[in-house]
């Protein structure tokens, strides 16, 4: 089952911003499945959110709906219209150009008109539907119960493996579980060709980096606020949404720098998207193993872009992991966002000024007025491990001693 990214942006009527915020706040963080817009009625959703992108002197306020779903974006729009039409009406009636007496046909037309293309999309557990995630979790619990009852009988790891494998294959849902998607594999040849292309483009990349340094970087004006200088009221508002369940979410809105910076941004977003689809398919993005979904999308005609992610651990731990493992990549992408800490030769500086970077991160963060997780207590690596466990017990005929040890650790 392929996962897709859906993102809608609608401009809010000037006198309806506070009313809409109140409607969205009632849905919940994380959403319980009740209220005007029940995410639980939409079976294809892994994670979703409603966010208000704030107005300023350049941009009108807008509401953004973002969802990570099974199947195609168009199928999800049909599902929204079918399952939560009343919720859509309550929310989108606060927006410009929403039909006064909506029908399913006019609702769908409005959603399609306000859809935005996702430039870069990362899936931590590609191929697993919402249903598969839950089925593998249930299977894992059954295996754990069997081990808890019988574990003391086994004298070796191989004996334990044989007993667990026999139990798994006699499971009442074994035949259905065997048909679920296997753990994905990276496309090595495709990535070799991709790296060769980067080598061919290297002279242009180096030229762009030199031009960027000589004519742009030294002129840029970062926000220059350390994390300790960000208003406490703003940080408190953001932290009120964090550490409620095992997972967290992050919503950020940036103003895009024009010209060469934007061209470099487009290149690195394309490269990240390509690598995410073809190589980073085992639950680990550049050394960060906690991300369920992440996306970058241009809004407001490309003058702003957003970053939305769902991840395990704390906000500080999440950004810290990125800086430790991939600070240069953060600089390549977010150097195109106004206010970002000053970079040097594209990859230097920036996020490595950690306190300023964390301050910039909080300043650009916006409240996710309502957000939802279909499996709020599952960690990213737990999901990956449960797929490996099911596949190794039910599909593969034999394992090496090392693989058996790893399998038993997964249990």
Please state the domain extents for the chain. Answer: 3-100+110-118, 130-180+379-410
pLDDT over 90 (residue 128): yes
**Alpha-carbon gap, residue 360 to 365, rounded angstroms:** 9
- The per-residue pLDDT for 408 is 95
- The per-residue pLDDT for 265 is 98
Give strand pairing partners of 309: 250, 294
**Residues in contact with 74: Cβ distance below 8 Å, sequence separation at least 6, in sequence order:** 112
The pLDDT of 62-81, averaged and rounded, is 97
- The per-residue pLDDT for 280 is 97
Nearest CA among 68, 63, 35, 37 for reference residue 51: 63
pLDDT over 90 (residue 225): yes
pLDDT (tens digit per residue) in 381-394: 999 999 999 999 99
pLDDT over 90 (residue 296): yes
Nearest CA among 51, 10, 16, 44 for reference residue 253: 51
| Omega before residue 30 within 30° of 0, cis | yes
99 by DSSP, 3-state: which?
Answer: coil
Give strand pairing partners of 308: 251, 295
CA-to-CA dists, residue 329 to 117, 209, 287, 291, angstroms: 22, 14, 12, 16
The pLDDT of 13-33, averaged and rounded, is 90
pLDDT top residue among 287 and 254: 254
pLDDT over 80 (residue 36): no
pLDDT over 90 (residue 110): yes
Give strand pairing partners of 348: 344
**Alpha-carbon gap, residue 331 to 346, rounded angstroms:** 6
**Alpha-carbon gap, residue 253 to 326, rounded angstroms:** 21
- The per-residue pLDDT for 108 is 98
- The per-residue pLDDT for 29 is 83
The pLDDT of 226-231, averaged and rounded, is 96
pLDDT over 90 (residue 230): yes
State the Cα angle at 8 between 5 and 13, rounded to 5°: 165
State the Cα angle at 274 between 269 and 275, rounded to 5°: 100
Q: How confident is the model at residue 1 (pLDDT cuts 50, 70, 90)?
A: confident
pLDDT over 80 (residue 34): no
- The per-residue pLDDT for 329 is 95
- Please state, for a pLDDT cut of 90, what percent of the chain lies above it: 92
Count of residues in the chain: 411
pLDDT top residue among 50 and 320: 50
Give strand pairing partners of 28: 31
- The per-residue pLDDT for 33 is 66
**Alpha-carbon gap, residue 226 to 250, rounded angstroms:** 19
Burial class (CB in 10 A: 0-12, 13-18, 19+), 22: exposed
Q: Which two tokens stand for residue 272?
A: 């990240």
Domain 3-100+110-118 carries which CATH code?
3.30.70.1090
């Amino acid at each position: 089952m392929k996962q897709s990214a859906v993102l809608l942006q609608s401009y809010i009527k000037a006198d309806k911003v506070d009313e809409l915020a109140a409607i969205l706040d009632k849905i919940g963080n994380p959403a319980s499945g009740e209220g005007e817009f029940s995410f639980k009625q939409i079976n294809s959703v892994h994670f979703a959110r409603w966010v208000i992108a704030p107005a300023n002197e350049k941009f009108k306020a807008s509401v953004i709906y973002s969802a990570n779903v099974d199947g195609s974006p168009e199928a999800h729009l049909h599902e929204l219209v079918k399952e939560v039409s009343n919720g859509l009406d309550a929310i989108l009636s606060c927006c410009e150009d929403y039909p006064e007496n909506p029908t399913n046909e006019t609702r769908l037309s409005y959603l399609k008109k306000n859809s935005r293309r996702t430039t870069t999309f990362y899936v931590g557990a590609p191929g697993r539907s919402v249903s598969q995630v839950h089925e593998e979790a249930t299977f894992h619990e059954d295996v754990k119960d069997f081990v808890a009852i019988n574990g003391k009988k086994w004298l070796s790891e191989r004996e334990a493996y044989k007993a667990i494998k026999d139990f798994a294959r006699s499971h009442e849902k074994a035949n259905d579980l065997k048909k679920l998607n296997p753990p994905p594999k990276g496309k090595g040849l495709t990535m070799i060709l991709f790296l060769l292309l980067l080598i061919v483009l290297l002279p242009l990349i180096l030229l762009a980096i030199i031009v960027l340094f000589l004519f742009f970087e030294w002129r840029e004006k970062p926000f220059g606020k350390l994390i300790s200088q960000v208003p406490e009221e703003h940080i408190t508002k953001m932290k009120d949404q964090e550490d409620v369940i095992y997972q967290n979410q992050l919503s950020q809105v940036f103003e895009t720098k024009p010209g060469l910076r934007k061209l470099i941004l487009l290149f690195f977003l394309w490269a990240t998207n390509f690598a995410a689809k073809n190589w980073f398919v085992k639950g680990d993005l550049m050394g960060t193993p906690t991300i369920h979904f992440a996306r970058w999308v241009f809004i407001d005609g490309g003058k702003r872009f957003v970053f939305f992610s769902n991840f395990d651990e704390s906000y500080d731990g999440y950004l810290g992991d990125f800086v430790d493992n991939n600070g240069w990549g953060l600089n390549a992408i977010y150097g195109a966002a106004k206010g970002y800490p000053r970079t040097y030769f594209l990859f230097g500086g920036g996020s490595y000024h950690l306190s300023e970077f964390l301050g910039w991160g909080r300043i650009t963060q916006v409240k996710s007025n309502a957000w939802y997780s279909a499996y709020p207590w599952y960690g990213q690596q737990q999901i990956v491990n449960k797929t490996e466990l099911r596949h190794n017990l039910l599909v593969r005929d034999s394992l090496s001693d090392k693989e058996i040890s790893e399998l038993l650790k997964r249990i």
